[in-house]
Amino acid sequence: MRLKTSIGLALALSITMGGMTHANDNARPGATAASDDPYLWLEDIHSERAMNWVKAQNAHTQKQFADNPEFARTRDRVLEVLDSDARIPYVERRGDYLYNFWQDKAHPRGLWRRTTLSEYRKPEPQWEVLLDVDALNKTEDKRWVFKGSDCLKPDYNHCLVYLSPDGGDAIEVREFDIPSKSFAKDGFRIPVAKTEVGWIDENHLYVGTDFGPGSMTSSSYPRLAKMWTRGTPLSAATTVYEAKTSDLSVGATHDRTPGFERDFVNVAHDFFHSDTYQLKDGKLIHLDVPTDASVDAHREWMLVQLRSAWTVGGSTYPSGALIATKFDDFMAGKRQFTTLFAPDEHTALSGYSWTQHHIILNLMDDVKSRLDVLTPQPDGHWARANMPGAPTFSTMTVLDTDPDHSDEYWLSVTGFLTPSSLERGVLGEGAAQTLKQSPAFFDASKFEVSQHFVTSKDGTKVPYFEIAPKNLKLDGSNRTLLYGYGGFEVSLQPYYSGSVGRAWLERGGVYVVANIRGGGEYGPRWHQAAMQANRLRAYEDFAAVAQDLVKRGVTSPVHLGAEGGSNGGLLMGNMLTLYPQLFGAIACEVPLLDMKRYIHLSAGASWIAEYGNPDDPKQWDFIRHFSPYQNVKADVKYPDVLFFTTTSDDRVGPVQARKMAAKMEGMGYQNVWFFENTEGGHGAGADNKQAAFMHALAYDFLWDRLQ
C-alpha cells in the first residue's frame, strides 16, 4: 500500500482528486500586494461583474477563432478521436471483474460498467452497466461529473462513488451497492468537499473532509483524519489524527491484504515531505524514514523511494534509489536494506508495481522506457530479469496488477507515432498478449520521431523529442509547436495523441516535447534542480530548446508556438514575459501567473515547497523573477497569447488567467485572447465535447497566428 498522500501531483493537468475552495480563500486577511492590484475584483469568481467580463471575453475570442468552418472541422475531428468506439476501454481488475468508465457521443457524462476477462477478450465485449451518469443527471437535474470509485475487497460489492458537481476537485461521496446497481439506501454519504476517504471494513470508513470551521488546512485539504461508523452521523466520526493548519493534508488508510492487515496515517507537510505512522492498538508508531521519501508497505515488505541521499545502518543510499527491507524487521529497529534500483546519469525510476511474487520496475533511459522484474529469493537477494523492450521512442506503463491473488499485469504501450495497445500477461507464463489496440487516427507513415539534446545556459544537457514530417526542409519556415511542463517531478514521455496528429501534424506542423528540469525525467535531481530559487533553470531550458529549433533550421520565432497548462501555464507565462522574442504565439492554459498572491488563491498554499513563499520577503526576492503577472510591461513586443481557464477550477482557479489577460488589455495590447469554460475543473473539460473545443481552440489559435 503506497503511503504517500494522494494529492502529491495535484497540480498536474492529468491528475484529479476531490476538492473544494473555501469562499474566504480568495480574500484572506493579510494577503499581500492586494491594495495596488486594480484587477483584484476578478478574484471574486462568481460575482456578476466578473462573470460579465468573462462572457464578453468569451464572445470576442469565439468570434475570432471559433466561428468559422475551419475551427468546426478541427473540433469535430478531435471529437471523433475522443468519442471513437474503437478506443481502448482501459480497465481495472476488482476480483473477477474488469471495471471501466466510458464516455462517447451517446453518453457524454459516461457509463460506469464492468465485464469479465473472457468477455473482454472478444472484439465487442458485452458490458454490465452499473451507473449511467447521464441518466442520473436527468433524474436529479444535475450536471455530475464522475470522478472515480473505491470498492471494498474482497467481494467488491460495497463501493464509494465520487461525483463532482462541475468537474472541479470538489466531490460528493455516495455508497453504491453493486448487486442492486443502485446507491445504497441509508449508505455512507459525504457532502461536496475536498475529501479523502477509504474503506476499513463494511461498517467503517476513514474520512477526511470539511467538518466545519477549522477542519481544513490553509491549502484547502483535510486537516482531520477520522473514523466513521455506519449508522452514525458524519459529525460523530472520531478523530484519529489532527494535523496542523499549515500542513498540506492528512489521510488514514487500511491495508486489507490477507495476513498483513495494517492501518496507517500519512501527514503531508507539503508536496514533498510527510510523516507516516502505523496505527496499532490505538497508538501511532512513527515510520523512521526521511520525510521526503515515499514509503510502501506490501505484505512482508517495506519499500522506500528516496528523494535525497540517506545514510542508515552503516550504508548510504543515493537520491532516486529504491530500497527494500522486511516491514517487521524495520519496525523492530533493524536498518538493513537491499538496493532494488540506483540511478545513474541517464537512468531514473519512473514507478513500480507489485504483483503477488514480484515487483515490476518502470525505468527511463534518457526518457525512454524499460521494464525490469525483481523477485525476492529465500537467501535475501532479489533476482532481476528484463521484460521485452518497447518500440523505439515508446512508453511502457504497468496500468494494473492483482497483487493479492496473482502475478497478472496489464501493460500499456504507446509512442508518438505508435497507436496505444493494451497487453495482459502473467509473469512466469510467457510473453504478454495484446488484448486491445487503438486505431490509427492519422497516417503516421508521413512522420518520424527524433530525440535531440541541447545545452542550457548553465551547461546542462536537456533532451527533447521532435515529431516532424519526413524529409523536413530545414529552412526555418515550419510551423512548430513546443510543449512543456517542468514541475513537480512529472515526466513527459512519448505518447500517442490522435488529437495532436489530426489538429497539428496532418496540417504539416512540427510537434516538440521538451524534457526540461523541474520534471522527473532524470529522477529527483532533475526536479530539484529547478525548485524555488532555481526556478529559472526550467525556463532557461525551454528557451534553449526553442533557440535550438531555430538554430537547426526547423523553424523561426515567427513560426514557433508554445503550449502548456497548469504549472506548464506558469512556464508559458514566463516564456511570454522573459523570452517574448522567441515565439510567435503562446497558448497558456489553466495557469499560475500571479506568484505574489498565488498562496492566497484556491489551493495555492499547497505549492510553497515547489515555488517558495512570496509572503516571506527573502523568498519573494527570487520568486519575483518568475512571476509573469508582476513582470508584464507596457510597450513590449509580446507574441500573441491565448489564456484558457475554467470557472470551476478549484485547484489553480480561473482568477490568475483572468487578471493577466485584463492587465495586458489594460496596457493596450490587442493580441491578447481569453476563454473561460464554466465546467471541467482543472482538466478544462467536463466531457469530450468540451475537451474537443478546448483542444481545437488552442490548435487553431496557434496555427492562425504562426503565419
In tens, the pLDDT along 629-663 reads 999 999 999 999 999 999 999 999 999 999 999 99
Structural domains in the chain (count): 2
**Model pLDDT for residues 484-526, shown as the tens digit of each residue:** 999 999 999 999 999 999 999 999 999 999 999 999 999 999 9
Among residues 399, 448, 453, which one has the least CA distance to residue 424?
399
Question: Is residue 99 in some structural domain?
Answer: yes
Nearest to 221 by CA among 480, 10, 481: 10
184 and 108, same domain (yes or no) = yes
CA nearest neighbour of 390 among 354, 365, 353: 365
Residue 580 lies in a domain: yes
What does the pLDDT look like over 234-291, one tens digit per residue? 999 999 999 999 999 999 999 999 999 999 999 999 999 999 999 999 999 999 999 9
For 229, other C-beta atoms within 10 Å of its C-beta total 13
Q: Among 177, 193, 209, which residue terminates a domain?
A: 193
Residue 30: the pLDDT is: 34
Q: Are residues 638 and 542 in the same domain?
A: yes
One domain for residues 676 and 694: yes
For residue 16, what pLDDT is reported? 28
**183 and 60 within one domain:** no
Quick one: 68 and 163 in the same domain? no
pLDDT of the residue at 518 = 98
pLDDT at 394: 87
Same domain, 131 and 165: yes
User: In whole numbers, what is the pLDDT of the chain averaged over residues?
Assistant: 93
For residue 638, tell me if it sits in a domain: yes
DSSP 222-284: B-EEEEEETTS-GGGPEEEEE--TTSSEEEEEEE--TT--EEEEEEESSSS-EEEEEEETTEE
Model confidence, pTM: 0.93
CA 279 – CA 3 distance, rounded (Å): 13
- Residue in 566, 606, 627, 648 annotated catalytic: 566
User: How many alpha carbons fall within 13 Å on the CB side of residue 8?
Assistant: 17
* 61 found inside a domain: yes
CATH at 523: 3.40.50.1820
Q: Are 360 and 387 in contact (CB under 8 A)?
A: yes
Query: Given the C-alpha cell 531550458, which residue does it identify?
Result: 541
Asked if the structure places residue 390 within a domain, the reply is no
Is 60 found in the same domain as 127? Answer: no
Looking at residue 18, what is its pLDDT? 29
- Pair (534, 638) in one structural domain: yes
Please state, in angstroms and rounded to a whole number, the distance separating the CA atoms of residues 641 and 587. 6
pLDDT at res. 686: 82
Distance from C-alpha of 176 to C-alpha of 112, rounded to nearest angstrom: 12
Q: Is residue 383 part of a domain?
A: no
Q: Is the CB of residue 242 less than 8 Å from the CB of residue 224?
A: yes
The last residue of a domain, from among 193, 214, 237: 193
pLDDT tens-digit series, residues 207-247: 999 999 999 999 999 999 999 999 999 999 999 999 999 99
The whole-angstrom separation of Cα 267 and Cα 276 is: 6
pLDDT given for residue 3 in this prediction = 52
Do 63 and 90 belong together in one domain?
no
682 is catalytic: yes
Among residues 167, 193, 219, the one where a domain terminates is 193
Q: What is the pLDDT of residue 34?
A: 56
| Whether pLDDT at 299 is above 70 | yes
Catalytic, out of 254, 358, 559, 682 = 682
> Per the domain annotation, does 266 fall within a domain?
no
Residues 72 and 105 in one domain: no
- Domain range holding 125? 86-193
Q: Does the active-site annotation cover 566?
A: yes
Q: For residues 56 and 188, state if they share a domain.
A: no
In a domain, 231, yes or no: no
Looking at the structure, do residues 627 and 529 belong to the same domain, yes or no?
yes
Segment 149-171, tens digit of pLDDT: 999 999 999 999 999 999 999 99
